[in-house]
Structure 1
Amino acid sequence: MSIAKSKNQVHQGDCVKLLGEVEEGSVDLVFADPPFNIGYDYDVYDDTQQSDDYLKWCRQWIDGVYRALKPDGTFWLAIGDEYAAELKIEAQKAGFQCRSWVIWYYTFGVNCVNGFSRSHTHLFHFVKDPKKFTFNRPNPQIRVKSARQLVYADNRANPNGRLPDNTWILRPQDAPTSFSPSHDTWYFARVAGTFKEREGFHGCQMPEQLLARIIRSSSSPQDLVLDPFGGSGTTMSVAKKLGRQWMGFELSEDYATYINERLAKTQVGDPIDGAEDPIQSSPSTKQGKRRPKPFSEETEKAVIAAYEKAGNGYPAEYIMCDMDLNKEFIAECRERGVTGSAFIWNRYLFHLRKQGKLPKSTQQPPRISSAEINRYGYASEVAWRLLAIDYQKTLDDILCSPEFASEFDRLAALYGPADVTPIEYRRAALSIRKRTKPARELAVEKFSKWMKKKIRPIAIDDFQNAEFEVPGVFVLRHEEASIFAGESENMREQIALMMDNPSWQELEPDSILPIKNNDNFATRFALKAALVQRELPALNCRLWASDSELPV
């Protein structure tokens, strides 16, 4: 099998050769942490090359990275002091543009006898096209809390924080009041031998939180992330946790084996190891204000008045789904002088609805039918799942933020029919959420024993026959990994629709676990819930899973 077709795998061998076998322009993000040529004792690699030989070798693999990346792809390079300047120049010669030069400051630095202790690594952020590249600025997981949030509890502050600064600063013990992880010196502890996340087989392990910031900022869910120097496998592990596709190269056979063992224990959506923000604390200042109640009675009246004026009698959930109505509601809040932001006003509207303080709805949107859920609900579920992993937000949070909701719309459109509008995808997600709890309960009650049965996989090419033009549930799989559990009134037709979509094709499904089911739709939702709990598919919403695991 060619490397181009072997995503979500670790390939053992020389990275220069393997990069040449990757399909040109197929990778979204490359993170490279190459040997620093400082004499480290690797398993099989010689880290004591002559300078000219080392730079020639770096030139080769950097050219390979450039070739493998898509036109809008991104390349992050971690390198030490000795060759930082040289490799920056080599990357620029290859065609890359440098967007950021980040200093990663870490504790547990290397002690030097006749010099200052080494406690940083250089992180270069390169792009191929300076006008078109991925940088996920709305993602709250790459943002940091502002002084307005930490000190003043100001409702006007962006609740998702702000983007990190571009500032040189001192070490925290030298300047404790000025050091902040929000600056371009990133403060993440090096993974020491006693740390929980230490894998133990590789001495140069990157912290997962640092890789998570890079992967979240420079790629989107289901993008392909490549690490040409697999090492301890952290890049691939974090990429898998964050719902990306991944690929890794590793020269050492032993390291490749260990990486595969680590990845086998890693599931999509698993938490990222390590502290998210190792030194975050509210600044100590006498001028800091106590955190006030979020809204006054006057503000409450203003928000309700804005809802009455802009909502046209529809319920609050519909206001979150209809972009035009939501824009009118936000404009009304702004005109009434309500402090805060669109996200805060939308969240407060939900809060008032739950408290029963909103006027009774006079308009009811049409109900989402089972046929509509059948036709495009799967795309809503995928978009919800991927954003929940990447942004660490609830569905309410996603729909209340215009920026988050826009990303939800983009992902749903990637995986669903082209003729479906954002409002339909958003409403489908809310409808699915309402069905999950009873479906989970019925799954445990009805299918726990039944789900012990072995389901025979069918090759996807053999699935295209009339035998499966019946209602049922199915699991799309790539090799032994489950991708998505779905249900349909016509399984063959549903699979054909999905396979016509390039986004599903890129996941490379090769087999299907089909289960015919002619019961009523409620029962079929329960069967799907049981399948999700059993198979743990990567793209199914987490709410299908239950605290009560079904026996396998």
Structure 2
Amino acid sequence: MSDSRAWLDQVYCEDALAGLARIPDGAVDLILTDPPYNLGKDYGNASDQQTVEEYLRWTEEWIAAALPKLKPNGSLYIFLTWRFSPEIFVMLKRRMTMMNEIIWDRRVPSMGGSVRSYSSVHDTIGFFVKRKDYYFDLDAVRIAYDAATKKARSRSIFVGAKWLEIGYNPKDLWSVSRLHKEHPERADHPTQKPLEIIERMVKASCPPDGVVLDLFMGSGTTALAAKRCGRRFVGFELNQDYCDIIHARLAALDAAPAGAGAKAGAKPPAKRAPAKRAGTAAVKKAAAKPGAKKPKPETVTL
């Protein structure tokens, strides 16, 4: 008899639309995913190079296939570009309740850019839930007040105030630097998201030992964040090169000394020589060589 939970803590190198059948309905606490933005990037396939109609039809297809996997009190976070977020938010609003539109300010320096429009320096994140009693642990993601603020609130009416001691609620504007080429967390992927952002979502919206699903694993940051936060994960990545990166990053985390998870989790895999795929542009490869420096990725595609 096969193990009904054998799909846990797995990253499958396959199309998510085909692989979702592995996951039972109602088994996932959180869907956290960063699909292709359809901006023409090369992920080793044509997933980011569709017509507008094809892209929106494909998006509706994977949303319809993924949402049944969520538990009734589950949540979803989705990274998007402003170019398509209105249409995709409407798709999701037909099925879920929208709690926030989060703006990720990537802290891009003001250099160059279009002379006919304003420079785009943010990504849009949608936070959706299935029903009113969704899981959300605010205390796990509060931001500590600095010493100056605490000192300014030293009057007797503030003494013992919980909010002053445990910090404040993160706002819906997250100013976190993108991962530059030399960043120690960087892997060889063009749209890698920072662990800081992904871990905030995991801690807030997935209970301890809960399950996080990512349909477009990319560099594997969702899997890494789940593991570092004591959650389970499952995901899909179509590009074998990125699958190699994910497995190398997870292996580095496993090999790290106790208490060094953050450091080890951030180490990127070693780079291999670029390899060409049949019918696609060259895709950089990363190998799991311990100690070798590697750049880090961001997102994934189907």
TM-score range, shorter chain: 0.7 to 0.9
| Aligned position for 1:155 | 159
| Greater fraction of residues in strand | 2
Partner of 1:442: none
Higher relative contact order (CA 8 A, sep 6+): 2
Q: Quick one: percent identity of the two aligned structures?
A: 30
After superposition, the Cα gap between the structure-2 partners of 1:260 and 1:150, relative to the gap in structure 1 and judged at 3 Å, is: farther
2:177 aligns with 189
Cα drift, residue 121 of structure 1: 0.8
TM-score by length of 1: 0.43
2:287 alignment partner in structure 1: none
Counterpart residue number, 1:116? 118
TM-superposed deviation, 1:161: 0.9
Where do 1:78-89 residues align within 5 Å?
Answer: 78-89=79-90
Larger proportion of helix:
1
Structure 1 gaps of 5+ residues are 165-182, 274-552
- For 2:242, which of 250, 255, 261 is the aligned residue? 255
TM-score (normalised: structure 2): 0.77
Cα distance, 1:150–1:128 mapped onto 2, change above 3 Å = farther
SS in 2 for 1:31: strand
Q: Which amino acid aligns with 1:83?
A: F
* 1:86–1:197 distance in 2 versus 1, CA, 3 Å: same
| Residue 118 (structure 1) shift | 1.4
Distance in 2 (CA, whole Å) between partners of 1:91 and 1:72 is: 16
**Contact residue 186 and residue 192 of structure 2 kept, 8 A:** yes
Alignment check: 8 A CA contact 2:142 2:167 kept: no
Q: Could you say what secondary structure the match of 1:265 adopts? A: helix
Distance 2:152 2:96 in 1: 40
The aligned length equals: 252
The answer to whether the Cα contact below 8 Å between 2:107 and 2:121 also exists between their aligned partners in 1 is yes
Matched, 1:213 2:200: yes
Could you tell me how far apart the structure 2 residues matched to 1:150 and 1:41 are? 51
Q: Superposed, which structure 2 residues align to 1:106-505 within 5 Å? A: 106-108=106-108, 111-114=112-115, 115-129=117-131, 131-139=132-140, 141-145=141-145, 148-149=149-150, 151-153=152-154, 154-158=158-162, 159-164=165-170, 183-199=171-187, 201-267=188-254, 270-272=260-262
Change (3 A) 1:62 1:195: same
1:269 Cα offset (Å): 5.8
- RMSD over aligned Cα atoms: 2.3
Q: 1:152 to 1:142 in 2, by over 3 A?
A: closer
| Cα distance change, pair 111–77 in 1 and its aligned pair in 2 (3 A) | farther
User: How far 1:57 sits from its partner (Å)?
Assistant: 0.5
Does the 8 A contact of 1:241 with 1:270 survive in 2? no
Matched, 1:13 2:21: no
CA 1:14–1:2 in 2, change beyond 3 Å: closer, same or farther?
farther
Query: What is the match of residue 268 of structure 2?
Result: none
Aligned residue number for residue 68 of structure 1:
69
C-alpha distance in 2, partners of 1:195/1:121?
20
Distance 1:205 1:148, change over 3 A: same
CA deviation profile, 1:241-289 (whole Å, cap 9, x unmatched): 111011110001111121011111114864446xxxxxxxxxxxxxxxx
Quick check: 1:111–1:118 contact (8 Å CA) kept in 2? no
After superposition, the Cα gap between the structure-2 partners of 1:4 and 1:150, relative to the gap in structure 1 and judged at 3 Å, is farther
The residue type equivalent to 1:142 in the other structure is R
Look at both structures and tell me which one has the larger radius of gyration over its CA atoms.
Answer: 1
In the alignment, the residues of structure 1 paired with residue 182 and residue 218 of structure 2 have an alpha-carbon distance, to the nearest angstrom, of 19
Query: Retained in 2: the 8 A contact 1:3–1:21?
Result: no
Summarize deviations over 1:344-365 as a string: whole Å, max 9, x none.
xxxxxxxxxxxxxxxxxxxxxx
